[in-house]
């Protein structure tokens, strides 16, 4: 994948995850807290997930801590698929989360653990 392809994937994933986190706060986090409670997930995790999505999304857009944020997104999306979406099947179920999960894996594998900032355009290491 060339550096511009990686840049597009990183900014797209970051933007989408940022909007998911923003939505949780602007629509009221209470609904997310109740939903987590109904799944048996501690309610404080709603805040943790929303912050990971919001702050992590911005971090990816700006190329900050890319592999670490990507790993957090892999965890969040993996749990969402397993706990909520998997029983609905792929189509009409966990398909969108699966695509985001794959994008997070790509950004994890192409991001540099040696760099805190990966400014635009993203660079690839040899």
| Residue 47 in domain | yes
Q: Summarize pLDDT for 58-107 with one digit per residue, the tens.
A: 999 998 899 999 999 999 999 999 998 888 888 888 899 999 999 999 99
The span from the CA of 35 to the CA of 68, in Å, is 27
| Residue 98 in domain | yes
Q: What's the pTM?
A: 0.85
| Residue 22 in domain | yes
Span between the terminal Cα atoms of the chain, in Å: 13
| Residue 121 in domain | no
DSSP state string for the chain = --HHHHHHHHHHHHHHHHHHHHHHHHT-HHHHHHHHHHTT--THHHHHHHHHHHHHHHHHHHTBSHHHHHHHHHHHHHHHIIIIIGGG-IIIIIHHHHHHHHHHHHHHHHS-SS-SB-PSSP----
Q: Is the pLDDT of residue 122 over 70?
A: no
Domain ranges, residue 39 = 3-110
The span from the CA of 79 to the CA of 58, in Å, is 21
Overall number of domains in the chain: 1
């Amino acid at each position: 994948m060339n550096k511009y392809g990686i840049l597009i994937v990183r900014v797209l994933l970051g933007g989408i995850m940022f909007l998911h986190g923003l939505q949780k706060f602007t629509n009221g986090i209470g609904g997310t807290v109740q939903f987590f409670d109904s799944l048996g997930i501690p309610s404080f995790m709603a805040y943790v997930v929303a912050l990971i999505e919001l702050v992590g999304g911005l971090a990816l857009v700006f190329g900050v801590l890319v592999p670490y944020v990507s790993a957090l997104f892999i965890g969040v999306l993996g749990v969402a698929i397993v706990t909520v979406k998997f029983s609905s099947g792929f189509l009409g179920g966990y398909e969108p989360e699966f695509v985001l999960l794959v994008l997070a894996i790509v950004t994890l594998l192409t991001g540099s653990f040696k760099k805190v900032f990966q400014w635009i355009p993203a660079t690839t290491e040899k």
